[in-house]
Amino acid sequence: MKMRKILTTVLAGGILAGGLAGCSGGNTIKTKGEVKPEINYSSVSEGSYPSFEEGEAAKGYNEYAMKLFAIVAAAEDKNTNVMVSPASVMFALDLADSGACKNTLAEINKAIGGADLTPEQQQAFASKWMKSINSSEGVDFSVANAIWSNRELMGDNMSDEYKNYVKKLFDAEVRSMKFDGGAIKDINGWVNDKTKGMIDKILDELDPATAAVLVNAIAFDGKWAVPYEDYQISNDKFKGISGESDATFLEEKSDLYYESDKAIGFSKLYEGGEYMFVAILPKDEAVDANKFMSEFTGEDLNMFMNSASSGYEVYSKIPKFKNDYTTSLVPALRNLGINDAFDPEKADFTGIANLENNLYISNVLHKTFIEVDENGTKASAVTAIEVECAGIMPEEKEIRYVYCDRPFAYMIVDRNDMTPVFVGTVNNI
Average confidence (pLDDT) over 148-163: 83
Residues 175 and 264 in one domain: no
> Residue 57: inside a domain, yes or no?
yes
**What CATH number does the domain containing 309 carry?**
2.30.39.10
What is the band of 156 on the pLDDT scale with cuts at 50, 70, 90? confident
Average confidence (pLDDT) over 346-364: 83
Phi/psi for 397 (5° steps) reads: -120, 155
The model scores a pTM over 0.85: no
Residues 316 and 235 in one domain: yes
Residues 252 and 382 in one domain: no
Residues 91 and 168 in one domain: yes
> Residue 1: inside a domain, yes or no?
no
Phi/psi for 198 (5° steps) reads: -70, -35
How many other β-carbons are positioned within 10 Å of the β-carbon of residue 226? 12
pLDDT tens-digit map of 211-254: 788 888 989 899 989 999 999 999 988 888 888 889 898 888 88
**Coil, helix or strand for 301?**
helix
Residues 289 and 316 in one domain: yes
> Residue 408: inside a domain, yes or no?
no
Residues 161 and 51 in one domain: yes
Per the structure, how many domains does the chain have? Answer: 2
> Residue 197: inside a domain, yes or no?
yes
> Residue 246: inside a domain, yes or no?
yes
**What CATH number does the domain containing 187 carry?**
3.30.497.10
> Residue 313: inside a domain, yes or no?
yes
Q: Identify whether the C-beta of residue 133 lies closer than 8 Å to the C-beta of residue 218.
A: yes
Assess whether pLDDT exceeds 80 at residue 48: no
Residues 91 and 60 in one domain: yes
Residues 18 and 75 in one domain: yes
> Residue 4: inside a domain, yes or no?
no
- Domain of residue 96 covers 14-223+322-389
Question: CA–CA distance from 37 to each of 20, 107, 348 (Å)?
Answer: 21, 16, 10
Residues 311 and 246 in one domain: yes
* Residue that finishes a domain, picked among 267, 293, 320: 320
Assess whether pLDDT exceeds 80 at residue 401: no
Residues 109 and 99 in one domain: yes
Residues 116 and 246 in one domain: no
> Residue 7: inside a domain, yes or no?
no
Residues 192 and 238 in one domain: no
Q: Identify whether the C-beta of residue 381 lies closer than 8 Å to the C-beta of residue 369.
A: yes
